[in-house]
Structure 1
Amino acid sequence: MRHQFGQGQSGQGRSGQERSGQERSPAGTARVTELAAALRATVRGEVDFDAAGRALVTMDASNYRRVPVGVVAPRDADDVAAALAVCRAHGTPVVPRGGGTSIAGQATGTGVVLDFTRHMNRVLAVDPEARTAVVQPGVVCDTLRDAAAEHGLTFGPDPSTHSRCTIGGMIGNNACGSHSVAWGTTADNTLELDVLTYRGDRARLARGGHEVPAPLRSAVETLVADRLALLRTGYPELPRRISGYALDELLPEKGRDWARAFTGSEGTLGVLTEATMRLVPAPAARALAVLGYPDESAAAEAAAGLLAYGPLTVEGMAADLVGEAALGVLPAGGAWLFVETGGADPAEARAAAETIGRAAAADLTGWKVVADPAGQRALWRVREDASGTATRLPDGGEAWPGWEDCAVPPARLGGYLREFRGLLRDHGLRGAPYGHFGDGCIHIRIDFDLLTPPGIARFREFSVELADLVAAHGGSLSGEHGDGLARAELLPRMYGDELVGVFEEFKDLWDPDGGLNPGVLARPAPLDANLRFTGLPVKPGPLAFSYPHDDGDFSAAVRRCVGVARCRVTTPGSDVMCPSFRATHDETHSTRGRARLLHEMLIGEVVTDGWRSPEVRDALDLCLSCKGCRSDCPVGVDMATYKAEFLHHHYAGRRRPAAHYAMGRLPRWLALASALRLAPVANTLAGLGPLAALAKHLGGIAPERDIPPLATAPF
């Protein structure tokens, strides 16, 4: 009942039917039903074609939204093969998905989504002598790092989402993280990959390609041999070149490394089922030099010069991303570089950090060295939360990804940043740059208006001009997060039409049916199609709460969730968020999952019952209203308030569950019992089995629970 929420924004881009690839006709519905039945008969893992399951994977952490027909959680590689066979027989595309933290839209759902986080999420082996680990694609980055740490090793790449992103997703995007100046990209740490093509062929990818199926190997080697000159000259030289397919890794002088060539392919070539990753020695001790500069351009100019000291990180951020509390622990400045050093012991690590501080001192507004682990973690938390906090500007305005991770040669970063700031001013846009300054990679959230046609047109115009600016500086449109739906359309501006044509040929050799993640990388969808804001209503109302920080707009409150998934962290720590996800490990019961369901409720395409939606009600049922998300979520999602809003409308004019009356009015019942001195009587009756069972039934209390005794003396 979409009309409940008022007029939806039409925006631009494709319709919901085009986004999802579904047909609304009875014949289309029958085909989806047949597909679901065939998958359930073949796959041992869960098959979910319900509205709630689909709603959870329509989005990742990007500006984009695509609606799948269903979700499959395979248990092993054979399950993946079975799912691919069924989807192929039904002409249905497949998208592999990890933690859903991608920022370019490549993990959004279309066709059938393969969720690897449910079952295929283990570290299978660690070989400390060879410094390798064998993992499944759904294993979380930090889980691998913890397993490696038992042997004094670590996995080098560590995106800011390392506590919830998966290795499969990192391979798909060729993710990097803050330590890439020391340990490289995911491709630099990938040794062997087991993959399945859409047609079900198994391939083990490694240097030489000896275990690649002969027809595929021969065809790809012919493609490379025919384009040797183009592949040798068509790629820019820089440490963070992530955009496009890494076909140059198949050149003979590079050892024809099929694993590296596959890394960064964003689920468009094959489906990963197992990976052998390189591990590196973990420094016994670390220290952090925090260097203050007048502004981010000065910090950017200085970053490349610090690489000679062999740091583990050179991360940059400006003051407009730092809250008042964090400013108090940073040295004076308008921007900072976080330069981490390692050593055999704390003294050696501190000495290395102090050497860097003294060497840079002439250009600094202030600096400090932090050697204690707790202090370092607190400062890194400020940096890692930037991808969320940058979504809200200091005046409360919304800002979005889309140009989240362009990269240029580090020596050109300062000049690029100045021109980038000028381009923002020319378009009347704002944003706060931060990121991996040592590698020339900049993150930023920009206050695009993605709700109205004029705003979306400006988004497109800015994107084209920025792509040209990046290319002029010898850079890469993506330096970490991949091209996805956000930048793939613009790859010809970086590589030229001829090399992009070779990308399409490469894709066709792997996936001649076009069944894997269509619309991404090869023959991409327009960058202004599939926007996740299309269809959201304008200020749905009337509302029970005022939402003062969102201009009274419940849609804007729900939009706060950008999908960075801090609520999916399950390791012990200082965070409260999200207790129901920690208990269930089910996305439905995470803050992000609930926000996604509310988003889909407002659009009305997948979740169609509006405020009466049973899917949203069930997802909110385990929410404790603890307000943990209000403090722990980088963008301040307040699910307790959203739950109260939803339940107010959901039960308007209807009888509520008994527990709502029993527990919601508990203070009244306790006051009445105290006034009438009924506590001793109530306690006696609660001890009688049949009466206690009746009371629990009437009060909506689970029969397994004991009724706690009332205090006989009021207080």
Structure 2
Amino acid sequence: MTDTTTALEPLVARLAETAVGLRVETGPGATGLYAYDASNYRVPPRAVVFPRSADDVVAVLRACRETGVPVTARGGGTSMAGNAVGPGLVLDFSRYMNRILDIDPSARTARVEAGVVLDTLRSATALHGLTFGPDPSSHSRCTLGGMIGNDACGNRSVRDGRTSGHIEALEIVTADGVRAVADRSGLHAAEPGDADAVQRVARLEADVRRLIADNLEPIRTELGRIPRQVSGYQLHHLLPENGFDVARALVGTEGSCAVVTAATVRLVATAQASALLTLGYDDVVDAAEDVPEILRWSPSAVEGMDEAIVATMRARRGPDSVTGLPEGRAWLYVELDGDDEAAVNARAAELLDVLKARGRMIGGRVVESPAERRSLWRVREDGAGLAARLVDGGESWPGWEDSAVAPENLAAYLRDFRRLLASHRLTGVLYGHFGAGCVHVRIDFDLATDSGRAAMRRFLSEAAALVVEHGGTLSGEHGDGRARGELLEVMYSHRMIRAFAAFKEIFDPEGLLNPGVIVAPARLDADLALHTPSDVLPVETLFSFPHDEDGFAGAVRRCVGVGRCRSDAGGVMCPSYRATGEENDSTRGRARLLQEMVRGGTVQDGWRSTEVKDALDLCLSCKACSSDCPVGVDMATYKAEFLHQHYKGRLRPRSHYSLGWLPLTSALAGYAARPVNALLRGPIGKLLARLGGVTTKRRIPAFASRSALRRALRSARTGEPAKALLFVDSFTRAFRPEVAGAASRVLADAGIPCTAEDGLCCGLTWVSTGQLSTARRIMARTVAHLDNGDDRPIVVAEPSCAAALKRDVPELLGTDAARRVASRVHTLTGALTDLAAPDWTPPELPDQVVLQTHCHEYATFKGRHPRDLLSRLGVRKVDEAEGCCGLAGNFGFEAQHYETSMAVADLALKPRLDGIDQDAPAVVVADGFSCATQIDHLAGDRGIRALHLAELLDPAADQPGGTS
């Protein structure tokens, strides 16, 4: 094989000739991103290619064969075994080859390209009452190509089995660039008129038939023994009695035999009714003991997990994020479904009675609330991420996260497996598809030291022997990859291993396709991603990163690649990825580049890196990832720290001065608000905007005079003793002082009379632009004023400023005083939820509200969301635009970000505003100044204005509509 370094230039040149317009990336900003998947491994490629068609793939494979460059096919990059990283060239199918080509409802089939995300397919087929059966927990971002590569299963595999059972045909490109179709009867050339291709494919099929004929005995006795036996190649599908099903045999080959470009998949009918039972146990072994009985009831899902995952979810997203679980320290989710709701519910109740009588279950219930069901399934689906970084800060890793046994052997296997963990002084967080005997476990391996890696190797060798002793398999759905390929010799005979090697050689004689997995595997402890302390770039940061043992390095290491940020629905993160679809605009992509920067890998110029700066450029600093990411990545904080370090001692972008220093300039503008506003509305205003790096496509908000705030607060005085402080933030003071007056009246009406604190600043704008030294000085002044022995709650009308006081202030200052102040901070929603008098009755509210929740409030004040408060106060329908508004403080005002800002608004907010009936306008509520400004920009010309919650609840105001 040719050295990839010397082969790269000829390869790129060849592709320019044979695939005109093909996107090829070779810089650190791309190769650093694709050096990782969701596994323990890091293998930087030499180039990343984004094909748009099968012809592009043909050109790539032919060029790679000519130049000797290996190829790794990749979908969503969520592989936990190192299946989607490799040297040479990476083919990313998710970016462009993501089309649904055909759905045939009558035949119950769909033809899709390899990069189609599973949820996209399921949304399309749902219109016909159909779905794709296998449903991995990564369904919101995993691709069909990746599922085919791993033979993925998922939560409902008890009923629907593995991906291989739902494949009718695969459209492939061979290692030498020939297009073919593998189906249930053999292998055929995709272009029958191409004589050379027909001959090449016929020769391939003949060689495979000979291989199978020569190895009938080991294939029949060693393969296909248990439902989840994914390890190795599935050659038993090629047996004469199985009809020589080449399509199913290629499923699970992890891209090591051919590159799949499209597939025809079989669909199943969607169940009309379902019931979810949650069952509590003392431990996972007790839970596993009940699985054989549960399987007698033909469930669609039997999922298990232990208490560590639940505790982490509650700590990260609030105590109300997990509801509906009975007493216990381990739980099973059991789903029953069918066509008749009453019959399903009756079966569920009967099963619950049977399990109670068996005596192992210590609590159980049927979950009837749809909200509780969604909450519970989210805990299970986020298991891999939640288990990676637990409440106590401990880290755990895959490597032995996918073993499986026959379900009837599960309890015995788990009992012995826990003994094995204890003997190695390791701790494992357990969850998985218990109904299929598949156990996912993340283990607290020490991957940063030589002794720790050696210990991991010893453990994995013993674990492999243990699962084989219980009649099981190394992998049940994640594939072998780099994590387990070396251990296949523990599971299979030498003859079977040779048959695997021969099968790959038939398809890929030069070993160019995904080298290092299954056949001629890399060592399982080679290419580990976790950097050792000696590798870490020295970093002294201003943020303290109190929840991460290694500071900034430990913080960015939180990302383990599960890729939830690549979802285009549900939650709020990651708005920039949803707008662009680019990996480097995802939370994961940015975190991976920061990891490369810390280790001095593909990114070698540290804080001065332009690649990292470019990747962070479209981060809106919305903070949603700090809540939505299962491991709590906080990219807004990382970006602020990076910008601080990157521009230290250097000239900054103009917008950092014009927008970062807005609290100061707005305070000055308040002395002459009327002439300043008049000036800014004219040509000089546009000139000043351009000079300040601010877009001229937005109207600059009008400044309020200093007297306006005094008038607003004077009208709100009640004379009652103050029980709280109203922190008048810079945005409220400068642009909407009427909100301060309304907030003061609402708090008094709710039994929380307050006194206003004006003239202080949280430092937010300096944080978001990375001017952290200035931010610290301002924050220290604010904390010194507020931490004066007064323990009254601090209520902040502007959610972003509340979030800065709650989180940024203590993490930047790191003092007890800052933490004391932070502990007192509430948004208006939080104050009315937690502090209002029990008998408080607000003014009459509208029947329907369109709501834009500020991202910082969503992320920082868990369980205290305006949606819930409005519902409790009597609003019948709260139509929430779930997602970022797109303006995001300074981001949407910066000239270079305007288009992205509007694209983000198009995702959720703009459709809600467009749907407002002009004849019966809805009330629009947005507490964030940025959100309200964006709403005015989008719909102000239609008379739609956003109200602050305080204005909606103001007892002194007439109930306003949504128009002004």
Bin the TM-score by the shorter chain: over 0.9
What is the aligned residue count?
686
Q: Is residue 152 of structure 2 the alignment partner of residue 188 of structure 1?
A: no
Matched-pair identity in %: 53
Q: Please tell me the residue identity of whatever aligns with 1:126.
A: I
Q: Is residue 87 of structure 2 the alignment partner of residue 110 of structure 1?
A: yes
**What SS does the aligned partner of 1:549 have?**
coil
Structure 1 partner of 2:678: 684
Aligned residues of 2:323 and 2:376 also touching (Cα < 8 A): no
**What SS does the aligned partner of 1:432 have?**
strand
Q: Is residue 324 of structure 2 the alignment partner of residue 359 of structure 1?
A: no
**What SS does the aligned partner of 1:445 have?**
strand
In the aligned structure 2, how far is the partner of 1:42 from the partner of 1:673? Answer: 60
Aligned residues of 2:322 and 2:376 also touching (Cα < 8 A): no
Aligned residues of 1:36 and 1:49 also touching (Cα < 8 A): no
Aligned residues of 1:236 and 1:475 also touching (Cα < 8 A): no
Q: 1:327 deviation in Å?
A: 6.1
Structure 2 partner of 1:673: 669
Structure 2 partner of 1:462: 459
Match of 2:515 among 505, 518, 521: 518
Match of 1:542 among 540, 560, 579: 540
In the aligned structure 1, how far is the partner of 2:3 from the partner of 2:649? Answer: 38
1:214-235, Cα deviation, whole Å (9 max, x unpaired): 1000001001101111111122
Q: 1:439 deviation in Å?
A: 0.5
Structure 1 partner of 2:703: 710
Match of 1:93 among 64, 70, 86: 70
Q: Is residue 621 of structure 2 the alignment partner of residue 628 of structure 1?
A: no
Q: 1:552 deviation in Å?
A: 4.4
Structure 2 partner of 1:9: none
Structure 2 partner of 1:485: 482
Structure 2 partner of 1:416: 413
Q: Is residue 154 of structure 2 the alignment partner of residue 177 of structure 1?
A: yes
Q: Is residue 152 of structure 2 the alignment partner of residue 164 of structure 1?
A: no
Match of 2:603 among 607, 613, 616: 607
**What SS does the aligned partner of 2:483 have?**
helix
Q: 1:524 deviation in Å?
A: 0.4
Choose 1 or 2 for highest CA Rg: 2
In the aligned structure 1, how far is the partner of 2:353 from the partner of 2:418? Answer: 30
Q: 1:687 deviation in Å?
A: 2.3
Please say which of residues 117-126 and 697-706 is displaced more in the overlay.
697-706
In the aligned structure 2, how far is the partner of 1:495 from the partner of 1:694? Answer: 73
Match of 2:549 among 531, 548, 551: 551
Q: Is residue 171 of structure 2 the alignment partner of residue 199 of structure 1?
A: no
In the aligned structure 2, how far is the partner of 1:202 from the partner of 1:328? Answer: 51
Match of 1:222 among 210, 221, 224: 210
Aligned residues of 1:138 and 1:167 also touching (Cα < 8 A): yes
Please say which of residues 173-182 and 77-86 is displaced more in the overlay.
77-86
Q: Is residue 4 of structure 2 the alignment partner of residue 33 of structure 1?
A: no
In the aligned structure 1, how far is the partner of 2:408 from the partner of 2:69? Answer: 46
Please say which of residues 596-605 and 434-443 is displaced more in the overlay.
596-605
Aligned residues of 1:342 and 1:352 also touching (Cα < 8 A): no
Q: Is residue 268 of structure 2 the alignment partner of residue 280 of structure 1?
A: yes
Q: Is residue 329 of structure 2 the alignment partner of residue 334 of structure 1?
A: yes
Q: 1:21 deviation in Å?
A: 6.2
Q: Please tell me the residue identity of whatever aligns with 1:148.
A: T
TM-score (norm 1): 0.94
TM-score (norm 2): 0.70
Aligned residues of 2:207 and 2:506 also touching (Cα < 8 A): yes
**What SS does the aligned partner of 2:95 have?**
coil
**What SS does the aligned partner of 2:335 have?**
strand
In the aligned structure 1, how far is the partner of 2:84 from the partner of 2:400? Answer: 17
In the aligned structure 2, how far is the partner of 1:684 from the partner of 1:41? Answer: 58
Aligned residues of 2:536 and 2:600 also touching (Cα < 8 A): no
Structure 2 partner of 1:13: none
In the aligned structure 2, how far is the partner of 1:562 from the partner of 1:125? Answer: 35
In the aligned structure 2, how far is the partner of 1:22 from the partner of 1:531? Answer: 20
**What SS does the aligned partner of 1:336 have?**
strand
Q: 1:247 deviation in Å?
A: 0.8
Q: Is residue 96 of structure 2 the alignment partner of residue 119 of structure 1?
A: yes
**What SS does the aligned partner of 1:194 have?**
strand
Please say which of residues 417-426 and 360-369 is displaced more in the overlay.
360-369
Structure 2 partner of 1:560: 558
1:47-104, Cα deviation, whole Å (9 max, x unpaired): 1112111111110000001111111111111111111111111111111100000000
- Aligned pairs for 1:443-458 (under 5 A) are 443-458=440-455
Aligned residues of 1:350 and 1:371 also touching (Cα < 8 A): no
1:485-509, Cα deviation, whole Å (9 max, x unpaired): 0000000100122211110110000
Q: Please tell me the residue identity of whatever aligns with 1:429.
A: L
Aligned residues of 1:21 and 1:111 also touching (Cα < 8 A): no
Aligned residues of 1:40 and 1:47 also touching (Cα < 8 A): no
Q: Please tell me the residue identity of whatever aligns with 1:239.
A: P
In the aligned structure 1, how far is the partner of 2:73 from the partner of 2:17? Answer: 20
Structure 2 partner of 1:577: 573
Q: Please tell me the residue identity of whatever aligns with 1:33.
A: E
Aligned residues of 2:273 and 2:340 also touching (Cα < 8 A): yes
Q: 1:358 deviation in Å?
A: 1.6
Structure 2 partner of 1:652: 648
In the aligned structure 1, how far is the partner of 2:514 from the partner of 2:24? Answer: 19
Distance 1:253 1:335, change over 3 A: same
Q: 1:393 deviation in Å?
A: 3.4
Aligned residues of 2:180 and 2:187 also touching (Cα < 8 A): no
Aligned residues of 2:558 and 2:633 also touching (Cα < 8 A): yes
Q: 1:236 deviation in Å?
A: 5.7
Structure 2 partner of 1:597: 593
In the aligned structure 2, how far is the partner of 1:40 from the partner of 1:685? Answer: 53
Q: Please tell me the residue identity of whatever aligns with 1:243.
A: S
Structure 1 partner of 2:367: 370
1:442-463, Cα deviation, whole Å (9 max, x unpaired): 0011000000000000010001
1:594-642, Cα deviation, whole Å (9 max, x unpaired): 0011011112231121100011111111112111011111111111111
Match of 2:470 among 470, 473, 476: 473
Please say which of residues 169-178 and 117-126 is displaced more in the overlay.
117-126
Q: Please tell me the residue identity of whatever aligns with 1:337.
A: L
Q: Is residue 584 of structure 2 the alignment partner of residue 588 of structure 1?
A: yes
Q: Is residue 300 of structure 2 the alignment partner of residue 312 of structure 1?
A: yes
Match of 2:240 among 252, 255, 268: 252
Match of 2:42 among 51, 65, 69: 65
In the aligned structure 1, how far is the partner of 2:448 from the partner of 2:408? Answer: 37
In the aligned structure 1, how far is the partner of 2:536 from the partner of 2:88? Answer: 29
Q: 1:328 deviation in Å?
A: 5.1
In the aligned structure 1, how far is the partner of 2:506 from the partner of 2:118? Answer: 31
Structure 2 partner of 1:51: 28
Q: 1:329 deviation in Å?
A: 2.7
**What SS does the aligned partner of 1:261 have?**
helix
In the aligned structure 2, how far is the partner of 1:21 from the partner of 1:383? Answer: 44
**What SS does the aligned partner of 1:139 have?**
coil
Aligned residues of 1:489 and 1:525 also touching (Cα < 8 A): yes
**What SS does the aligned partner of 1:47 have?**
strand
In the aligned structure 2, how far is the partner of 1:673 from the partner of 1:443? Answer: 59
Q: Please tell me the residue identity of whatever aligns with 2:692.
A: G
Structure 1 partner of 2:690: 697
**What SS does the aligned partner of 1:342 have?**
strand
In the aligned structure 1, how far is the partner of 2:106 from the partner of 2:369? Answer: 30
In the aligned structure 2, how far is the partner of 1:672 from the partner of 1:653? Answer: 27
In the aligned structure 2, how far is the partner of 1:696 from the partner of 1:328? Answer: 49
**What SS does the aligned partner of 2:90 have?**
strand
Distance 1:198 1:651, change over 3 A: same
Q: Please tell me the residue identity of whatever aligns with 2:185.
A: G
Structure 2 partner of 1:430: 427
Q: Please tell me the residue identity of whatever aligns with 1:344.
A: D
Q: 1:684 deviation in Å?
A: 1.7
Q: Please tell me the residue identity of whatever aligns with 2:229.
A: R
In the aligned structure 1, how far is the partner of 2:4 from the partner of 2:531? Answer: 17
